[in-house]
């Protein structure tokens, strides 16, 4: 076992204070967004002796990962953990499936595109399903909303463009009409787009005010809970108004009107699978994913966008808000296992015993101080610090007064 030294990435959407407070550091003045915990080649964690975690794995993968993990995933740590400090909306993005990642990675290698090129879409050959666990209230958008609810919301804007989109969405199969609407929307540009965004921003602000009044008027009416007239409409219109101010020339803002709004209370989680359009908006949380850095973007960002490629890998079938409930939960413990082979997440307060007992594990301290106890070793860590546990270390116990998040490969 060893304490890891992890890289913090500075992105414009990050917080200038939250990450520093979590890590116990003085703020740098820059928006710190992501803490990477793992062995991804992009920013592998460092060991106390100066070696990188990916190098340690390559030297003796069977000892570090265990034969079962090596047989399934090869000689690589299959998951990557992050801490996210979201102060502004992230890009509108989609992650590829394993098949599309392999195809895209091979194609771009053949084209001679450097792995670190800004316009590179596929930096590796792996898929990137991900789960976000909310440490604070966490806001995001993920997956296309059910058509009838989107139609209801669009009509609340009282805008000719929105009425036209609503009519179009009702004209055929949902996946087909959504693909057409999104494709046409992301193709908008120039003065037509700028004028439309301004109109949508104004309409959203008026619709937000009306929705707030309607919410107050019907607060005691339980039959309003399934209507877009209420808290969700207020949040959607408030966010769209804010996004128009931030991105007055970005058609991706319009696409957010079609997405599920997802609000997570502390302790709740959301799972985003391949092909699901999403954008996180605000909050602090722990993210665990398959170890990949493949991201296709279509808006809300100054980074490279490849709309055509994104549309080719997007799942346009409407889904419910993609919350993911724990398989096990008590007052001080939850175990979350989404439908992927690469990762699971345990969050809890000590004492935690043999959670889990085998394979590679990463323990991140969320609160207080704990000790990670193995057969012949114990390591004391505090909030913001993390410990890597190899398969060779065997079962461990976690004791102390804090709270931890443990990333692992499901048994």
Residues labelled as active-site residues: 297
For 249, what's the count of Cα atoms within 13 Å in the CB-facing half-sphere? Answer: 4
> What is the DSSP-derived secondary structure letter of residue 27?
-
Distance CA 266, CA 314 (A): 29
Tell me the pairing of strands 8-15 and 32-37.
antiparallel
Axis-axis angle for helices 147-155, 160-169 (nearest 10):
160
Rounded to 5 degrees, φ, ψ at 310 are: -60, -45
405: left (phi over 0), alpha (psi -120 to 50) or beta: beta
Q: How far apart are the first and last CA of the chain?
A: 20
- Quickly tell me which residue has 């959203």 as its tokens: 204
Distance CA 208, CA 328 (A): 38
Q: Confirm if 411 and 344 have CB atoms less than 8 A apart.
A: no
């Amino acid at each position: 076992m060893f304490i890891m030294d992890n890289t913090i990435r500075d992105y414009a959407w990050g917080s200038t204070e939250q990450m520093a407070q979590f890590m116990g550091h003085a703020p740098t003045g820059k928006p710190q967004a992501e803490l990477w915990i793992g062995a991804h080649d992009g920013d592998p964690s460092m060991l106390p002796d100066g070696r990188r975690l990916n190098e340690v794995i390559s030297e003796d993968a069977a000892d570090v990962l265990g034969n079962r993990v090596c047989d399934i995933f090869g000689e690589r740590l299959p998951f990557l953990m992050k801490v996210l400090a979201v102060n502004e909306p992230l890009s509108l993005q989609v992650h590829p499936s394993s098949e599309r990642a392999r195809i895209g990675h091979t194609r771009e290698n053949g084209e001679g595109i450097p792995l670190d090129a800004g316009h590179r879409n596929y930096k590796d050959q792996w898929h990137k399903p991900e789960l976000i666990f909310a440490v604070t209230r966490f806001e995001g958008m993920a997956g296309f909303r059910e058509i009838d609810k989107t139609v209801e919301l669009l009509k609340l804007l009282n805008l000719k463009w929105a009425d036209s989109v609503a009519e179009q969405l009702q004209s055929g199969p949902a996946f087909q009409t959504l693909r057409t609407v999104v494709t046409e929307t992301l193709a908008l540009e120039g003065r037509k787009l700028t004028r439309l965004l301004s109109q949508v921003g104004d309409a959203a602000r008026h619709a937000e005010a009306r929705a707030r009044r309607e919410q107050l008027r019907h607060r005691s009416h339980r039959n309003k809970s399934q209507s877009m007239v209420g808290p969700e409409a207020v949040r959607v219109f408030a966010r769209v108004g804010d996004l128009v101010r931030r991105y007055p020339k970005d058609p991706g803002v319009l696409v957010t009107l079609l997405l599920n709004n997802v609000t997570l209370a502390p302790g709740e989680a959301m799972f985003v699978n391949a092909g699901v359009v999403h954008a996180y908006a605000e909050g602090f949380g722990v993210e665990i994913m398959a170890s990949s850095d493949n991201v296709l973007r279509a808006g809300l960002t100054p980074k490279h966008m490849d709309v055509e490629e994104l549309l080719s890998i997007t799942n346009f079938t409407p889904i419910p808000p993609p919350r993911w409930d724990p398989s096990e939960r008590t007052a001080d413990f939850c175990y979350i296992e989404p439908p992927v082979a690469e990762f699971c997440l345990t969050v809890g307060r000590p004492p935690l015993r043999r959670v889990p007992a085998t394979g590679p594990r990463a323990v991140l301290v969320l609160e207080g101080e704990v000790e990670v106890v193995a057969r012949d070793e114990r390591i004391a860590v505090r909030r913001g610090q993390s410990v890597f546990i190899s398969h060779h270390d065997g079962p461990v116990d976690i004791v102390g007064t804090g709270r931890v998040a443990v990333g692992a490969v499901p048994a």
